[in-house]
Amino acid sequence: MTDKSITDFQQQALVLAGQQTSPDWLAGLREQGAELWSSAAWPSRKTEHWKYTPLAPLQKVGFGRWADVEADWQDQQEWLDIDATRLVFVNGVFHPEHSSELPAEVVRFGAAEGAARAVIEKHLGKVVDAEKHLFAALSNAWTSDGVLLHVPANQRLEKPLYVIHVSTATAEPATANQRLLLVLENGAQAEVIEHFVSGASEQNGFVNGLTEVVVGENAELHHYRLNLEEENILHVGGVHVDLQRSARLRAFTIAQGSRLKRIDYQVNHRGEGAELDLQGLYLPRNKQLIDYHTEIRHMVPHCTSKEVFHGIVGDSAKAVFNGRIYIHPHAQKTLAELSNKNLLTSNKAEVDTKPELEIYADDVKCAHGATVSQLNLTALYYLQSRGIPRAEAEVMLNFGFINELLQQVAQPAVRAYLGPRLAQLFSPNSELLRHLSYE
Amino acid sequence: MLSIKDLRASVAEQEILKGLSLDIKPGEVHAIMGPNGSGKSTLGNVLTGRQGFQVTGGSVTYQGADLLELETEERAREGLFLAFQYPVEIPGVSNMEFLKAAVDATRKHRDLPELSSVEFLKLARETSKKVDLDASFLKRGVNEAFSGGEKKRNELLQMMLLEPKLCILDETDSGLDIDALQVVANGVNAMRSPERSFIVVTHYQRLLDYIVPDFVHVLAGGRIVKSGDKELAKELEAKGYGWLEQEVA
Ligand SMILES: Nc1ncnc2c1ncn2[C@@H]1O[C@H](COP(=O)(O)OP(=O)(O)OP(=O)(O)O)[C@@H](O)[C@H]1O
Ligand SMILES: [Mg+2]
């Protein structure tokens, strides 16, 4: 593709972004985003952060407006069985009739006044670095609707916040921008689940989903991001977090594949004693590509980060995992762990995994490891030696690899939802799945 | 029950078993002793059909049929059980689902009705009590972060649940404390019957005080070089293996 058409492509996005309606007080953010988006160099193979993840599928589809949704869109939906405050967005548009009544802590950008608006203005676009993250710039430029969760100091959000982003069938290219801002004041507690879904029918959608999080002193957030859109949905997204003193973030993420799914996690430890626990699963199949880029920035002493990602890559699919850990010269006594394990279930499957450590403090504990392997034959033999049929043993081992993390998920509704759905990926034959335990 | 004739087997292009013969009748307990690296575990691997272990000569007849023709899981369902010297850790697969899958497959093969989850849970709990393993181990990953002794008890638990006809215990006594040794021995003795046979691989005569064998064999250099009764084990304990190698040579 020539430079000119790339510019057109970026321009096309800007035109659409400009057509979004949004409150005046967000104009500054949108202009800044538009500026960055149009001046940024378009990623190529030489761009470090996009090296293994070509944006060609997105350039091929392009941007567009979503047509009105089909009447039966909801029939294709299966959501978590959970008692939560539910917000449903369809192709980026809020659907109040499918959503719960919003508690005081949850405010849509368009309806934000007074204190809520002040919180948004204080934090929105401030956690993410849009100069570094190209699609954050686009998100800023595109900001119209969005959701703020603001939990006041020492309060506990009563019910989990469950935000569902549905993409429906679309013959024409269509783009949705999803924006979430989670602000937990000092000592606050909350649980948030972001769930991206789509129907199985024809898709040409592109979802740009950006979440910014501020966890105040001693506050604790449980955060889930489930990227379960079907094959043809392209998705670029990010979760960007600031952790204040002794703040805790327990995060879980999963992605099933499409031709392009790229998700960034950036977590900034800004206050001493902050803790991060991040677990992730990715399962690309067919010709899909999933790319997780994580960056943990330890800026101050005495913080911990534990990060574990497991991926199963099948068929001709590809996975990219880039785990960066940055430890600032002042961040003594940091404890940082990173583990990435990959299981290839086909000879054509591919993984590029790369830990990137930048450690400038001397008194730290930092452990990292990345492995790529195939079916564990010793374990297979062990199961078979007990009479278990080979086909079932293989399913047990593949699912077990995922289940190592799944079983640690704190929210039972997430476990219950994912368990059987992920198991099905390993065999269509329910006979082979019957002994798996989802507890 | 089992008749091994002149068995030769290689692993990684290297011949390990070099003409091994052994006959086991129903109800018998055979102890196999022998130096490190002599091929004891290899024999267990070959009998259970582990990938990578090539049989290059000889025959193995089990219950009148050619054992070597069968897949690993078929051998297991036919009642062959190997308690591993080094049990395998499988995180993410719960011990409970593993045991249930194994017992279901075995019972199906024997035309026995499947146990319900409730029945099985009860059985698994009772049996784990017998091997002195807390019921919480049923919920953990298979052998995941079990201590050495706990792994061996888990092997025994599997053996008891699967009710095999021929049990091979590969150093199940290694790494056990005195009490655990007693537990294992009691477990094995409780399972002894006129129909069930055992091959007990061990380095220690002590185990054979508890599980009294009908025969003791010495495996060295890939062959059975001497056979005797339980007195042979005592002799070995006193004299080591050196004198045998001279005798054979
Ligand atoms: N997978 C393998 N690859 C290469 N060599 C192997 C393999 N398995 C076994 N061997 C070799 O075969 C020989 C016999 O090993 P085996 O495990 O049967 O000994 P053993 O009699 O059980 O010893 P020990 O008493 O130490 O358990 C050893 O030299 C061992 O290194
Ligand atoms: Mg051995």
pLDDT tens digits, A95-152: 999 999 999 999 999 999 999 999 999 999 999 999 999 999 999 999 988 999 999 9
- Does the distance separating the beta carbons of B92 and A381 come in below 8 Å? no
The model's pLDDT over B49-99, given as tens digits with 9 standing for 90+, comes to 999 999 999 999 999 999 999 999 999 999 999 999 999 999 999 999 999
CA of B170 to the centre of ligand 2 (A): 7
CA of B202 to the centre of ligand 1 (A): 15
Nearest to A210 by CA among A232, A177, A183: A177
Q: What share of chain B is helix, strand, coil (3-state, %, to 5)?
A: 40, 30, 30
In the prediction, which pLDDT does A54 show?
A: 86
Q: Which of B8, B15, B36, B88 to mutate to test the pocket of ligand 1 (most atoms within 8 A of CB)?
A: B36
Average pLDDT over residues A65-83: 84
Asked if the model's pLDDT at residue A201 lies above 70, the reply is no
Distance in angstroms (rounded) separating the CA atoms of residues A401 and B89: 12
Which of A378, A386, A401 has the CB atom closest to B102's CB atom?
A: A386
In the prediction, which pLDDT does B233 show?
A: 85
In the prediction, which pLDDT does A230 show?
A: 85
Nearest to A294 by CA among A313, A321, A316: A321
Q: Could you report the predicted ipTM of this complex, rounded to two decimals? A: 0.96
List chain A domain ranges. 8-391, 392-439
Band (A69; pLDDT cuts 50, 70, 90): confident
In the prediction, which pLDDT does B117 show?
A: 94
Share of chain A above pLDDT 70, in %: 98
Band (A75; pLDDT cuts 50, 70, 90): confident
* DSSP 3-state of A297: strand
In the prediction, which pLDDT does A159 show?
A: 97
CA of B41 to the centre of ligand 2 (A): 4
Asked if the model's pLDDT at residue A67 lies above 90, the reply is no
In the prediction, which pLDDT does B105 show?
A: 97
In the prediction, which pLDDT does B134 show?
A: 94
In the prediction, which pLDDT does A128 show?
A: 97
Nearest to A52 by CA among A290, A280, A237: A290
In the prediction, which pLDDT does A2 show?
A: 44
Asked if the model's pLDDT at residue A202 lies above 80, the reply is no
Going by C-beta distance under 8 Å and a sequence separation of 6 or more, which residues neighbour residue B74? none
Average pLDDT over residues A385-404: 97
Q: What is the mean pLDDT of each run of 10 residues along chain B (249 residues)?
A: 96 95 96 94 97 96 96 97 97 97 97 96 96 94 94 96 97 89 92 96 92 94 92 86 70
Question: Mean pLDDT of all residues in chain A?
Answer: 93
Q: Is the CB of B10 under 6 A from ligand 1?
A: no
pTM (2 decimals)?
A: 0.93
Q: Is the CB of B222 under 6 A from ligand 1?
A: no
